[in-house]
Amino acid sequence: MMRWQSNESRFGINAKLMLARQAVAANPTAGMAHYTLALALFRIGEYVAGLDAFKRAMDLLPPTPDQLVAYVKALLAQGRKREALTVLNNHEREASDSPGLLSLQGAILQTLGQPRKAAEFLFAAIELDPGNVDTAQAILLVLKGLKEWSRLLKFFDDQAERNAVTVPVVVAKMAGLRGLGRTAEVARLLDFDSCVSVKMIDSPPSFRDVSEFNSALASDIASPRKVKLSDIPSNKLTGGVQVEDLEIGSSPAMSCLFEIIEHAVEEYIDSRSGDCAKLLRQLSREFASLECWALLLGFNDTQDLHYHSSSSVAGVYYVAAPEALFRSDSKDGCLVFPSDGIKLLVERFVEPIPGRLVLFPGYLPHRTTPIRCDGERISIAFNTIPRARDVSLPERQDR
C-alpha cells in the first residue's frame, strides 16, 4: 500500500503571504523576510511584485542557489530570457554545483537556438539530480528538436537504471519511438482502455448522497480564503479560473474527497496491466503526496492539451456541470484523450458527470472541449506526486 504524506508546500498560501508581509513591515532590513515574500508571490503568479521583493532581498542578503532558481524562473515567466541568462552568468560559481541553475541555463540556451550547448548543461544537471522533472522536460525538448530519436530512448533507459523515471522521461520514450516509426508501441502506452479508469463514487457516510457531498465541495471551493488564478502557470486555460489551496482539512467534504482519491489511486495502480502497469511501477514510489486544485469553466472556456509532468497518477473529479450539457449528444465540456495522430488510436470523450472520478497516468495527453451553454463546470483535478521518504513531510495519520 502506498504511504501518503501531507504536502505542506501547497497549504495556506494566503496565510504565508500575510505573514511574510508582516515580517517585512516589522523588519524592512531582514533579507530573508523579503525572500520569503518574493517566493510566496511567485507561487501565485504575482511575478512583478515578486521580482521587486526579490531584488530588495538581494540588496540585503546574498541568495541561495534554490532562491536563485525561483528568481530565474520568474524572469522567464515574464519573457525576460536575456536578463535571466545574465543572472546565471553572474552566479556562475553557484550554478556549477546547482542542478536547478544548470538546468535553467540549458533551457534558456535551447530557446536561444543553441541546443547542443544546452544539452551539455542539461545532462550535467540530470547527473547531479536524476529525478528533476524540469531538467528531464528540458532534455526532452532539446533531443526532440535535434531529432535524436535513439538518444531519447537511451535517455529513458538510463533513467530507468537510475530508478529515476519521471513523466517527461516517459514522454521522451514515446517521442523516440514515434520518431523511429514504432507507433504500435506508442499506441499501447496511450491506449484508453488500458490506461484510463472512469467510475462513479459512492457517497461518503457523513453525507445523504453524492449531490449533498458535491454541494459541500462547491462551498469549500468558493471560500474567500482560496487563492484564485485566472492564468495557470503549467496548464493553460482559455478563460476559466483555477482555485488553489485545496487542503485536506479545509472541510469535512474535502477530507472525504482526499481519502476517496487516495484509495482510488491505490486501486487503480493495482488493477493496471501490460505496458501501462510497468510504467506506473517505474513512476511510483513508496511515498506519495496528493495535490488538488479546482477548475471553474464557464461559457466557451476550455483547457488546452497538456499532460501532468510531475504526476504518476493524475485525474479529475466532477463536482458540478450545467444540465444542458447532457440533454443532447453534444461533446461540450468533455475531457478528451486525443488519438495524437496515431491511426491505431481513436479520440475518446468523457462526459463531466457530477460524481464521476477519472484516473489516468500523468503522461497521458488530454484537453477539454468548450462549454457552449450557461452555467459553470466545476471539477477538482489532482496529481499523485511520488516522493522519497522525507522527514519534513509528515505521514498522514488520519486513515
Q: What is the pLDDT of residues 111-133, one digit of tens each?
A: 999 999 999 999 999 999 999 99
Per-residue confidence (pLDDT) for residue 140, from 0 to 100: 97
**Which stretch of 5-19, 36-50, 139-153 has the lowest confidence by average pLDDT?**
5-19
DSSP letter (8 states) at residue 312: S
For the chain, the structural domain boundaries read 192-387
pLDDT confidence band for 228 (50 / 70 / 90): confident
pLDDT confidence band for 358 (50 / 70 / 90): very high
Measured CA to CA, the distance from residue 118 to residue 12 in angstroms comes to 37
Q: What is the pLDDT of residues 249-272, one digit of tens each?
A: 899 999 999 999 999 999 999 999
CA distance readout (Å), 6 to 128, 235, 290, 362, 398: 26, 23, 8, 20, 11
Measured CA to CA, the distance from residue 178 to residue 188 in angstroms comes to 12
Judged against a pLDDT cut of 60, whether residue 369 lies above it is answered with yes
Domain 192-387: CATH superfamily, name plus number? q2cbj1_9rhob like domain (2.60.120.620)
pLDDT confidence band for 231 (50 / 70 / 90): very low
Per-residue confidence (pLDDT) for residue 395, from 0 to 100: 57
Q: What is the pLDDT of residues 131-183, one digit of tens each?
A: 999 999 999 999 999 999 999 999 999 999 999 999 999 999 999 999 999 99
CA distance readout (Å), 54 to 24, 32, 74, 107, 227: 12, 10, 10, 22, 21
Judged against a pLDDT cut of 80, whether residue 366 lies above it is answered with yes
* Three-class SS state of 271: helix
Measured CA to CA, the distance from residue 312 to residue 273 in angstroms comes to 15
Better pLDDT: 5 or 13:
5
- State the amino acid at position 273 in one-letter form: S
Q: What is the pLDDT of residues 190-223, one digit of tens each?
A: 999 999 999 999 999 999 999 999 999 999 999 8
Better pLDDT: 245 or 225:
225
What's the grid cell of residue 241? 479560473
Mean residue pLDDT of the chain comes to: 90
Judged against a pLDDT cut of 80, whether residue 398 lies above it is answered with no
Q: Region 358-364: what's the mean pLDDT?
A: 97
**Other residues' Cβ atoms within 10 Å of the Cβ of residue 347:** 11
Pairing of strands 287-297, 3-5: parallel
pLDDT confidence band for 329 (50 / 70 / 90): confident
Measured CA to CA, the distance from residue 379 to residue 320 in angstroms comes to 7
Q: Are 376 and 322 in contact (CB under 8 A)?
A: yes
Q: What is the pLDDT of residues 345-355, one digit of tens each?
A: 999 999 999 99
DSSP letter (8 states) at residue 168: H
User: Global pTM?
Assistant: 0.88
Per-residue confidence (pLDDT) for residue 388, from 0 to 100: 74
Judged against a pLDDT cut of 90, whether residue 74 lies above it is answered with yes
Handedness of CA 82, 85, 89, 91 (dihedral sign): positive
Measured CA to CA, the distance from residue 251 to residue 229 in angstroms comes to 21
Judged against a pLDDT cut of 50, whether residue 234 lies above it is answered with no
Distance of alpha carbon 205 from the chain centroid: 31
Torsion angles phi and psi, residue 51, rounded to 5: -65, -40
Distance of alpha carbon 70 from the chain centroid: 16
Distance of alpha carbon 22 from the chain centroid: 30
pLDDT confidence band for 378 (50 / 70 / 90): very high
Q: What is the pLDDT of residues 275-305, one digit of tens each?
A: 999 999 999 998 999 999 999 999 989 889 9
Burial pattern 214-244, b for ≥16 Cβ within 10 A else e, equals bbbbbebbeeeebbebeebeebebeebbbbb
Judged against a pLDDT cut of 50, whether residue 365 lies above it is answered with yes
What's the grid cell of residue 120? 551539455
Q: Region 15-28: what's the mean pLDDT?
A: 91
